[in-house]
Amino acid sequence: MDSIIVTGGAELKGQIPIAGAKNACLALMPATLLSDEPLTLTNAPRLSDIKTMTVLLESLGAEVRSMQEGRVLAMSSHDLNNLTADYDIVRKMRASNLVLGPLLARAGRAVVSLPGGCAIGARPMDLHIAGLEALGAKIELKDGYLHADAPKGLKGAVIDQRFASVGATENIVMAATLAKGTTVLKNAAREPEIVDLVKCLRAMGAQIAGEGTATIEIQGVDRLHGATHPVVADRIELGTYMIAPAIAGGEVELVGGGMDLLPAFCEKLDAAGIVVTPTEKGIRVSRSNGRAKAVDVKTEVFPGFPTDLQAQMMALLATAKGTSVLEETIFENRFMHAPELMRMGADIEVHGGHATVKGVERLKGAPVMATDLRASVSLILAGLGAEGETVVNRVYHLDRGYERVEEKLSAVGARIERVKGE
Give the total residue count for the chain: 422
Q: Do residues 193 and 261 touch, judged by C-beta distance below 8 A?
A: no
Q: Is 376 helix (H, G, I), strand (E, B) or coil?
A: helix
Q: Catalogue the active-site residues.
A: 118
- Whether 281 has a binding-site annotation, put simply, is no
Distance CA 107, CA 5 (A): 48
SS3 129: helix
Q: What residues are paired with 325 via a beta bridge? A: 356
Helix or strand or coil: residue 210? coil
124 is in an annotated binding site: yes
In terms of phi and psi (left: phi > 0; alpha: psi -120 to 50; beta: otherwise), the region of 290 is left
Q: What is the dihedral of CA 377, 381, 387, 390, to 10 degrees?
A: 10
C-alpha angle with apex 45: 44 to 47, nearest 5 degrees? Answer: 135
Q: Consult the annotation and say whether 123 binds a ligand.
A: yes
Which residues are 182's β-sheet partners? 219
The answer to the question of whether 102 is labelled as a binding residue is no
Q: Is 94 a known ligand-binding residue? A: yes
Identity of the residue numbered 387: E
Residue 378 near residue 316 (C-beta atoms within 8 A): no
309 annotated as ligand-binding? no
Question: Is 81 within any annotated ligand binding site?
Answer: no
Residue 302 is classified by DSSP as T
404 annotated to bind ligand: no
Residues 6+ apart with CB under 8 A from 96: 52, 53, 56, 85, 89, 90, 112, 113, 115
- Residue numbers in the known binding site for UDP-N-acetyl-alpha-D-glucosamine are 94, 123-127, 308, 330
- Residue numbers in the known binding site for phosphoenolpyruvate are 22-23
